[in-house]
Amino acid sequence: MLLWQLETAKDMRHAGVLDEASYGKITMRHLGVVEKIPAGALTGAEIRAMREQAHMSQAVFAHYLNLTPGYVSQLERGAKHPTGAALTLLNIIHRKGIETIL
């Protein structure tokens, strides 16, 4: 389903042509198959550079990412590699800057 079709469905719901239950059943399959862009791997040096560019301590950086300072330290040393939500947030910061999550 294209965006204009979703807008049409929304208008139909507001006009009473499409009931709330039917509108609520619109799922991702209606949007079509859209491949997600894989989050790129980041090195410890890149993570440290992002934090230093933001002029933040590990504790402050960890706070904004909802991580522990110890985990940030492990990431920067390369002892651990970010995954999931942490990797996604770090990639956003890498591409757009720390301001995007503040």
pLDDT tens digits, one per residue of 4-13 = 667 777 888 8
Q: How far apart are CA 78 and CA 84, in angstroms?
A: 17
Q: Based on the domain organization, do 53 and 30 belong to the same domain?
A: no
Q: Based on the domain organization, do 90 and 52 belong to the same domain?
A: yes
pLDDT tens digits, one per residue of 49-79 = 999 999 999 999 999 999 999 999 999 999 9
Domain count, the chain: 2
CATH number at residue 61: 1.10.260.40
Q: Based on the domain organization, do 22 and 57 belong to the same domain?
A: no
Q: Based on the domain organization, do 51 and 86 belong to the same domain?
A: yes
pLDDT tens digits, one per residue of 6-48 = 777 788 888 888 888 877 776 656 656 556 656 678 999 999 9
State which residues form the domain around 82: 44-101
Q: How far apart are CA 97 and CA 100, in angstroms?
A: 6
